[in-house]
Every structure is written in structure tokens, then in C-alpha cells.
Amino acid sequence: MSFKPLFALLACAFPALLSAQLQGRVGAALPKVQVEKPAVGLGQHDFLYAGESLRRRIFIVRGGKIAWSYEDTEGKGEISDAVLLSNGNVLYTHQFGIVEVSPDKNVVWKFDAPAGYEIHTAVPIGRDRILYIQNGDPAVARVLNKSTGVTEKEIRLKTRQPVSTHGQFRHARLTPQGTLLVAHMDLDKVVEYDADGNELWSFPAARPWGVTPLPGGNVLLTDSKGVREVTRRGDTAWAWTPADAPSLQFSNLQQAWRLPNGNTVINNWVNEWNIKPEEELGTIQAIEVTPEKKVVWTLASWTGPEALGPATTFQFLGGPAAEDVHFGDIR
């Protein structure tokens, strides 16, 4: 007998057996693939949250609940940067100034930008000092002593369009080495400066919004293309773009943070002046991914008592004090 008729006979008599043979699993059921769904909602991390929206609001989330919230009803502009200090106060920028508010929601300190200038980022240094960038002509990075009101350090920053104040800078961060990383939006690059204003390193980026120094010396940057971890040699050690999470909706990536477990959190801002974010199917406020780019957490808290609004900045709680940094010899 030839093999062809025998094969046909087996196919008619034992279709289930033949199907199993063809899949390499004779006499056994095919294994089920376990698909782990990412965590959702407020319970994944404790964090401070603020965003540029129609209302100037800041939230602290602990244990999956909003533990504290604050709304600036007297200022103007947009919140771009905010940080929880070790004494429980919150320091934030609102485009036209800097405010420090206590846990009982009293303003304990504030600084107003001069007319024609904007402030979108500020970093505390110790208990008494703040480093901030003032957009405008000229654009400067300053260290201000809150107690005395004295400017203790000032360096000028280059801009492409000095008169185009709003689009110059959003975020800057101090490194463990006491240098300053600045996201130059209008120059399409990230630059590292020493305390004397000397340029130490730069890397091209497409309208960068966020820049985060990593413990090993690499830099995590966010621009209009996505998120990249780059080395000081200019190599890309890791990268992520919205195409890596095609089922989710992204409109404007703002910043990225590397968590102690090696995962990366990326936040997404939605222009609340143009659209109601909750009406945009799949739109999220943040996504956490593993080094292999697996999604392990998403945040989309748009409605109800836990509605957070658009995201501009996060601070994940439980790490070192935000003030435990220095700029050159200023501590």
C-alpha cells in the first residue's frame, strides 16, 4: 500500500488524532497561553501628580487613594513641575511663578516671574534654595535663596528664538554629580551644564520635554519621538515609542522615570483645551513598562472621585529626599 491512501484513511477515521499529530502534540491537549493583564488604577504606586489643565491641581496618591489634593485658584498659567519636599510641603511652578504650599494648604512662600518671562521648572536644593529656569530674553538658570531672597547663582542659557518665551524650556534636573541637565525644546537638544555654565555634554532630541539622570550616568530623555536612555558616548541603551503599545492612545509624552525595579514609567499629556480626555478611547495618563517593553501598569483616571486630569509630572514617593541634591558647591 502506498503512503497516500493510508494517510487519507487515517484522516477520515481519526481527524482529532491527525490534528494533534500535525501540531506535534499526540494524545495531549494543546497548552493554554496565560496572558497577564497589566494593573490599572491608582493602586500600583504612591505618587505625587500634577498636570497642565484647565484647573491648577496637585494630588498625592497613597494606597490607591487620593490622600491629599490642592487647587491653586488664585494664580494663573499652567502647572508644569511639582515636587513633594521632605517637610511635607509641595513646591510647584505655574508658568508665571513658583509656589510652596504646606500640607494644610497654606502658601508659605512664592516667587513671581517678571512680566514677559515664564517659569516651568524648579528644583529644590537643601531646605533654603531653589534652582529654576526663567524662560525669556535672556533665558537664565538661577539659584535663589528663599530665606534671603538673594540670587546666589545665575547662568545664561542659549535659545533659538529669545522672544518666543513659551516654547524654550519645560524641565531641568540636577545630576548626582552636581551638574544640570536641561531640555532645550527650541534648540532640539539636551545639554548638561556645570555650575559655571560650561557645556559639558549634549545630545540631539526632537523638542525634548523631559530629562532624567540615571544612577549609572546614563540619561533618560523624552521628546516628540518617544523615550530613550542614552549613554554619555551618545549610544542608545534603551528606547520606547508609542508604537510599542499600539492598543493605547498617546497624544503628548512629557516625562519618564526609571523605577528601582528597572521598569520605566512614561506619562502622557492630553490637551484639555481641545478635547475631553475621557472621550478619547484608550487615552492614558501613564504607562509602566519593563525593560523588555511589557506593559505592567496603566493609569487612566479621568472620571469620578479619583479623576486626576491631564498629566504633566509625577514624583514616585519613598525614595531619597527631593532636596538631597547639589549644584556645584551649592547644597
Residue 14: its pLDDT value, please?
36
Residue 318 in this model has a pLDDT that exceeds 70: yes
Of residues 215 and 11, more confidence is placed in 215
Query: Cβ neighbours of residue 164 under 8 Å, at least 6 residues apart?
Result: 186
> Higher model confidence: residue 231 or residue 31?
231
Cell of 32: 493554554
Q: What is the pLDDT of residue 229?
A: 98
The C-alpha cell at 266 is 512614561
Q: Is the dihedral of CA 228, 238, 194, 129 positive or negative?
A: positive
CB atoms within 10 A of CB 46: 16
Query: pLDDT tier at 278 (50, 70, 90 boundaries)?
Result: confident
For 101-147, what is each residue's pLDDT tens digit? Answer: 999 999 999 999 999 999 999 999 999 999 999 999 999 999 999 99
If you search the block for the grid coordinates 502658601, which residue do you land on? 107
DSSP string, 97-140: EEEEE-TTS-EEEEEEPPTT-EEEEEEEETTTEEEEEEESSSEE
pTM, to two decimals: 0.87
Query: Taking 50 as the threshold, does the pLDDT of residue 250 lie above it?
Result: yes
Backbone conformation region of residue 282, classed left if phi is above 0, alpha if psi is from -120 to 50, else beta? left
Q: Is 206 helix (H, G, I), strand (E, B) or coil?
A: coil
Task: Please check whether residue 97 is in contact with residue 75, taking contact to mean a CB–CB distance below 8 angstroms.
Answer: yes
Spell out a b/e string for 236-268, using b for 16 or more CB atoms within 10 Å of the CB, else e: eeeebebeebeebbbbbbbbbbbeeeeebbbbb
pLDDT of 202 above 70: yes
pLDDT at 282: 80
Q: Residue 317 pLDDT more than 60?
A: yes
pLDDT given for residue 76 in this prediction:
86
| Side chain identity at residue 68, one-letter code | W
Of 109, 104, 79, which Cα lies nearest the Cα of 92? 79
DSSP string, 276-303: -GGGSTTB-SEEEE-TT--EEEEE---S
CATH architecture observed for domain 43-316: 6 Propeller (2.120)
Q: What is the mean pLDDT of residues 269-278?
A: 86
Summarize pLDDT for 13-42 with one digit per residue, the tens. 433 333 333 333 333 343 333 346 899 999
Closest C-alpha among 242, 302, 320, 304 to residue 53: 302
**Residue, of 4 and 150, whose pLDDT is higher:** 150
Average pLDDT, the chain: 89
Q: Is the per-residue pLDDT at 9 higher than 80?
A: no
| Amino acid 275: pLDDT | 84
Q: Quick one: pLDDT band at residue 161, thresholds 50, 70, 90?
A: confident
